[in-house]
Amino acid sequence: MHQIQLHNTLSGKVEPFAPLRPGHVGMYTCGPTVYDYAHIGNYRTFVFQDILRRFLKLRGLKLNHVMNLTDVDDRIIANAAAAGVGIREYTEKFVQAFFADCRTLSIESPEHWIRATDHIDDMVVLIRKLQENTYTYASEGSIYYRITKFRDYGKLSKVDLSGIQAGARVDNDRYEKESARDFALWKAPKPGEHFWETPIGVGRPGWHIECSAMAMKYLGETLDIHTGGIDLAFPHHENEIAQSEAATGKQFVRYWLHAEHLLVEGEKMSKSLGNFFTLRDLFAKGYKPSALRFALASVPYRRQLNFTFDGLQQATSSVERLRNFTARLKNEKFPAGNQPGMAERVKNAADEFDAGLSDDLNTAQALAAVFDFVREANTVMDKGEFRQGDVAAAAEFLGNFDKVFAVLEDNDGEKLKVIGFGGGDAGLGDAEIEKLVAERQAARARRDFAASDRVRKELLDRGIILEDTKDGKVRWKRK
């Protein structure tokens, strides 16, 4: 096993990773703001943190991973008001959609899913602490954080406060602030807005306070890992540091990991460009959840990922190749014994796989190790030299691969049902397929290839692929 190395935004370097408490990792991920369906760019980041958590677990670390759902912010308040419902009611639909999306992408549930609006009290406690420590000031019913008081401000995103002037690009806002970069911890309610009555006043929390309060509640004052999209580094994560460290005097996060953004056909994804996709958009076009997960996971997280439909098709083929091998390993009968050298090949592949992921989650390198092995093993099988005794080790390697990548199981149809799509196999049951396969076999036996090919074509049109094996049997699978 290789030393795990992770890129820390704080230092700007790839560093050896060691949790504060040996064997246990406390990790926080900024989840979605549930004002709408999440898009594939969001899921690039969520798949990244999923790969990270799965890899840490594979390496035997115990995880305590917290992901929040931001269910109160300006957009939610505005949208809920427009829809004439409460914010809880408004957000619930998108929370459920997000959970369903995560299931289709095989994103594991973190140990804790938490909502901002369930933690108002914790935020209030934290704000009071900041008041005690004199990092705040009140203005027109709101409470602001005075960033000049926090010496380390800017250490994460490397922003230079001296160079920032309030002016053209810095909105002085509708609130009264001492300095343009000061941010709201607590916002006075505007007429008609949803508000909470608390010891620090009537209103609602600012955007950043929820993550500081909840992260420390569940993970303690110092977390091992905090992840999010690169755009969150500033100001969100910078402000989280300011809030948390000003309250505790301790380092808030030891390793900050940020995923680069996804582009679509080389351009920023945006609704105005018409290149904005949710998972539902892609599944409606017939792409599989596993293909999307593979496409999102195969490009290392610190590299911008250029999403294209061609790329998604390529991912589909890659997953297919891996699944074909998995099926072959499982279904083919090999002679007893062991093939000399196979154990060594598995060991090398596993080592290279681990080396890739250990090196700041180099998924491309890890995948290369898997594909190399698949080719080698296929070759040995084709030569008839693979042995039954080799199956377990090969299967274990693939199993470990899939504990991280989670694309091998052929369950895309079921996943699509979770999200409300019928799936591609439209009604053809196993029995019916077997019956047609038997018909075709009979035709082949009497060398009536026209009839045989007709059946094969019919099945193909209905999403079933047939493969004739060497021993005269037929294997079928759903497209």
Within 407-436, the residues that bind RNA by CB under 7 A are: none
Choose the stretch contacting RNA; rule: CB under 7 A; options: 113-121, 139-147, 197-205, 310-318. 310-318
Q: How far is the CB of 304 from RNA (least distance, A)?
A: 5
> What gap in Å lies between CA 194 and CA 386, rounded to an integer?
67
Which lies closer to RNA via its Cβ, residue 94 or residue 421?
A: 94
363-382 vs 388-405: helix crossing angle, rounded to 10:
160
* Identified binder of RNA from the candidate list 141, 311, 389, 413, rule CB under 7 A: 311
Q: How far is the CB of 456 from RNA (least distance, A)?
A: 7
Please name the amino acid found at residue 113. W
Which lies closer to RNA via its Cβ, residue 33 or residue 136?
A: 33
Choose the stretch contacting RNA; rule: CB under 7 A; options: 50-58, 128-136, 227-235, 405-413. 227-235
Q: How far is the CB of 270 from RNA (least distance, A)?
A: 8
* Identified binder of RNA from the candidate list 65, 67, 300, 349, rule CB under 7 A: 300
Contacts of 338 (CB under 8 A, 6+ apart): 387, 389, 390
Residue 102 in the binding site for RNA (CB under 7 A): no
Contacts of RNA in 131-190 (CB under 7 A): 157-160, 163-164, 169-171, 181, 183
Q: Residues 364-403: x/- map of binding to RNA (CB under 7 A)?
A: xx-xx--xx-xx--xx-xx---------------------
Q: Which two tokens stand for residue 145?
A: 């954080």
Listed in sequence order, the DSSP H helices in 446-476 are 449-461
Q: Residues 14-33: x/- map of binding to RNA (CB under 7 A)?
A: ----------------x-xx
Q: Which runs of E-coded beta strand occur in 230-368?
A: 253-259, 262-264, 267-268, 305-307
> What gap in Å lies between CA 369 and CA 380, rounded to an integer?
17
Residue 321 in the binding site for RNA (CB under 7 A): yes
> What gap in Å lies between CA 35 and CA 79, rounded to an integer?
8
Which lies closer to RNA via its Cβ, residue 56 or residue 156?
A: 156
Which lies closer to RNA via its Cβ, residue 106 or residue 326?
A: 326
Residue 117 in the binding site for RNA (CB under 7 A): no
Which lies closer to RNA via its Cβ, residue 201 or residue 235?
A: 235
* Identified binder of RNA from the candidate list 52, 130, 233, 398, rule CB under 7 A: 233
CB atoms within 10 A of CB 377: 23
Q: Of 427, 78, 419, nearest to 280 (Cα)?
A: 419
Q: How far is the CB of 443 from RNA (least distance, A)?
A: 8
* Identified binder of RNA from the candidate list 235, 252, 283, 289, rule CB under 7 A: 235
> What gap in Å lies between CA 209 and CA 214, rounded to an integer?
8
Q: Which two tokens stand for residue 179?
A: 């300095």
Contacts of RNA in 436-455 (CB under 7 A): 444, 449, 452-453
Residue 259 in the binding site for RNA (CB under 7 A): yes
Q: Of 65, 42, 46, nearest to 214 (Cα)?
A: 65
* Identified binder of RNA from the candidate list 250, 268, 285, 330, rule CB under 7 A: 268
In eight-state DSSP terms, residue 278 is B
DSSP 344-386: HHHHHHHHHHHHHHHBT--HHHHHHHHHHHHHHHHHHHHTT--
* Identified binder of RNA from the candidate list 2, 250, 285, 303, rule CB under 7 A: 303
Q: Which two tokens stand for residue 297?
A: 């996971």
* Identified binder of RNA from the candidate list 141, 468, 478, 479, rule CB under 7 A: 468
Listed in sequence order, the DSSP H helices in 383-476 are 388-405, 412-418, 430-445, 449-461
**Residue keyed to tokens 């795990």:** 4
Contacts of RNA in 69-98 (CB under 7 A): 73, 75
Q: How far is the CB of 208 from RNA (least distance, A)?
A: 8
Q: How far is the CB of 417 from RNA (least distance, A)?
A: 26
Q: Which two tokens stand for residue 220?
A: 């303690």
Rg of the chain taking only CA atoms, in angstroms: 27
Contacts of RNA in 199-218 (CB under 7 A): 207
Residue 236 in the binding site for RNA (CB under 7 A): yes
Residue 293 in the binding site for RNA (CB under 7 A): no
Residue 298 in the binding site for RNA (CB under 7 A): yes
CB atoms within 10 A of CB 52: 24
Q: Does the bond joining 235 to the residue before it have cis omega, within 30 degrees of 0?
A: yes
